[in-house]
Amino acid sequence: MHDIRTIRDNPAAFDAALSRRGSSPLSSDILALDETRRARINAAETAQAEQNKASKEVGKAKASGDEAEFERLRALVAGKKEEVAQLQAEAKDLDAQLIDLLMGIPNLPFDDTPDGADESENVEMHRKGTPPAFDFKALEHYDLPSVRNGMDFETAAKLSGSRFVVLSGAVARIHRALAQFMLNTHVEENGLTETWTPVLVREEMMRGTGQLPKFGEDSYQTTNGWWLVPTAEVPLTNIVNDCTIEESYLPRRYVAHTQCFRSEAGSAGRDTAGMLRQHQFEKVEMVSITHPDKSRDELDRMTTCAEGILERLGLAYRTVVLCTGDIGFGARRTHDIEVWLPGQDTYREISSVSVCGDFQARRMNARFKPAEGGKPGFVHTLNGSGLAVGRCLIAVLENGQNADGSVTLPEVLSPYLGGKLTLTVEGTLA
């Protein structure tokens, strides 16, 4: 959420930043509502002062025996009391309107976020690794003979409908091994704190990270009001919801492996084959809570953490910075990491790492006390996949495929697979 004072101080700069995202100028609407709201607050305070003054004079009039003055003042107090209540109610309603308006406005991009209308104008930062050169036609993950028996979409459709999968046997074990490998790497090498969180959260938690109110259709809500998390970003970031922490507590770096749930609203017809786009999937999510001066550097650090997983798995990837027309609602700058998928002969997103500045912190009222004293300030928040487990499984299977349909698995998974690094044509580990 945006700081109304910043908009008041420089509305032109606010509109200019919004225009980079393709949004129309909004400062005039915001400031008009804010001015009306503040006028009601001032009027209520004036009426309250007049009520208090008249209340003090009522007793004097009564004591002096001036019945007419007493009745006049008593009527004045009653009228002012009603006026104050009315003005306060109007101010409260206008305040709610202002918050709703600010809640629906996307974050402002950093100056170093490239301008652009859509994903076609994202800017490549670098590429690492070399895509494998096969002397046979590369298959997509779901067509590999070694995978077919362990990746069952038909049974999943019977159980739950489209965009679900049942994993079994060796394929399920590889999937689990990838998540364990990611967690261990982030904890032991990258210094993140492993965290286990609920996947059901209250509505205010979804509001805190920006999924609500604008993107409710992208998530699932239970009949008693809980929301299924679209990513562990929601519970991890909200750990500091409505908290004021010591500066020495920063940075906080969390990692969690969770089930994630997305309705995929608006993606009908996209990536319907295989595991690429599912309603239920697993992710290892990274979240950092930082001092405002450190958040930009933290974005680069988190990007390196995510890239390191792919490098240790021996997977080729490229990293792009998203343009202003493609960054998410709450982001100021985003780095997408795209892994090479031989079956599609292209790079596909496997991680998105974003810095949000104080955008989420204002929604959550998450602050820190400066070490040198002074007024508490808002923390900065960041989030990123480290990585999407299902998509990583796809990449490992497709990049390790052999001509006979078997799959050679990455060496780093050996401790998690009992030393067996071949998924045989029969679908077993050897």
**Is the model's pLDDT at 20 over the cut of 70?**
yes
pLDDT given at position 267: 65
* Active-site residue, selected from the candidate residues 72, 311, 349, 362: 349
Does residue 350 have a known ligand-binding role?
yes
Share of the chain above pLDDT 70, in %: 99
pLDDT of residue 268: 64
Q: pLDDT tens digits, residue range 287-328?
A: 999 999 999 999 999 999 999 999 999 999 999 999 999 999
* Residue that is last in its domain, among 49, 75, 103: 103
Residue that is last in its domain, among 77, 103, 129: 103
- Mean pLDDT confidence for 188-193: 98
Q: Are residues 300 and 364 in the same domain?
A: yes
Residues 207 and 321 occupy one common structural domain: yes
Helix, coil or strand: residue 383: strand
Parent domain of 29: 4-103
Residue 108 belongs to some domain of the structure: no
pLDDT band at 148 (very low <50, low <70, confident <90, very high): very high
Q: Are residues 323 and 352 in the same domain?
A: yes
Tokens 């109304």 sit at which residue? 4
Do 145 and 174 sit in the same domain of this protein? yes
Lowest-confidence pick of 34-43, 63-72, 99-108, 330-339: 63-72
289 annotated as belonging to a binding site for a ligand = no
Does any domain span residue 159?
yes
The answer to whether residue 429 sits within a structural domain is no
Specify whether 207 is catalytic.
no
Q: Binding residue per annotation — 24?
A: no
* Annotated binding residue 177: no
Average pLDDT in the 202-209 region?
97
pLDDT at 64 over 90: no
Assigned domain for 99 exists: yes
Please name the residue ranges forming H helices in 189-290. Answer: 203-209, 233-237
Domain shared by 82 and 179, yes or no: no
pLDDT at 74: 79
Q: Over range 170-188, report the average pLDDT.
A: 98
Q: Is 337 annotated as a binding residue?
A: no
The answer to whether 349 is a known ligand-binding residue is yes
Quick one: pLDDT at residue 405?
96
Average pLDDT value over all residues in the chain? 95
Q: Give backbone dihedrals phi and psi of 223, rounded to 5 degrees, phi first.
A: -70, -20
Could you tell me the CATH number of the domain that includes residue 236? 3.30.930.10
207, 262, 332, 363: the catalytic one is 262
pLDDT, mean of residues 210-234: 95
Statement: residue 270 has pLDDT above 80: no
The pLDDT > 90 percentage for the chain reads 90
Catalytic residue flag (residue 391): yes
Task: Report the pLDDT averaged over residues 85-91.
Answer: 95
State the burial class of residue 96 (Cβ atoms within 10 Å of its Cβ: 0-12, 13-18, 19+): exposed
Find the mean pLDDT for residues 246-271. Answer: 88
Residue 428 domain flag: no
398 among the known binding-site residues?
Answer: no
Identify the pLDDT of residue 269. Answer: 65
The pLDDT value recorded for residue 329 is: 96
The residue from 352, 354, 367, 406 that is catalytic is 352
User: Quick one: pLDDT at residue 265?
Assistant: 67
Q: What is the mean pLDDT of residues 107-122?
A: 96
What pLDDT digit, counting tens, does each position of 370-381 carry? Answer: 999 999 999 999
- 35 and 81 co-located in one domain: yes
DSSP, residue by residue, 336-356: EEEEEETTTTEEEEEEEEEEE
| pLDDT score recorded for residue 68 | 79
Give the DSSP letter of residue 143: G
Give Cβ neighbours of residue 311 (< 8 Å, ≥ 6 apart). Answer: 128, 129
The mean pLDDT of 108-129, rounded to a whole number, is: 97
Task: Give the active site residue among 8, 38, 277, 312.
Answer: 277
| Weakest-pLDDT range from 42-56, 168-182, 228-242, 310-324 | 42-56
**pLDDT per residue over 346-398, tens digit each?**
999 999 999 999 999 999 999 999 999 999 999 999 999 999 999 999 999 99
How many domains does the chain contain in total?
2
Specify whether 247 is located in the same domain as 359. yes
* Distance (Å) of CA 405 to CA 145, 175, 423: 5, 18, 9
Contact 262, 271 (CB under 8 A): no
Q: What is the mean pLDDT of residues 101-125?
A: 96
Q: For residue 262, indicate whether it is catalytic.
A: yes
Query: Is 194 known as a binding-site position?
Result: no
- Report how far residue 163's alpha carbon sits from residue 349's, in angstroms, rounded to the nearest whole number: 18
Instruction: Give me the pLDDT at residue 53, please.
Output: 86
Selecting among 37, 367, 391, 406, the annotated active-site residue is 391
CATH assignment of the domain containing 77: 1.10.287.40
Q: Which two tokens stand for residue 149?
A: 């028996």
pLDDT of 98 higher than 70: yes
Q: Say if residue 20 carries a ligand binding annotation.
A: no
* Predicted local distance difference test score (pLDDT) of residue 60: 78
Closest by CA to 382, choosing from 303, 324, 271, 317, is: 303
pLDDT band at 178 (very low <50, low <70, confident <90, very high): very high
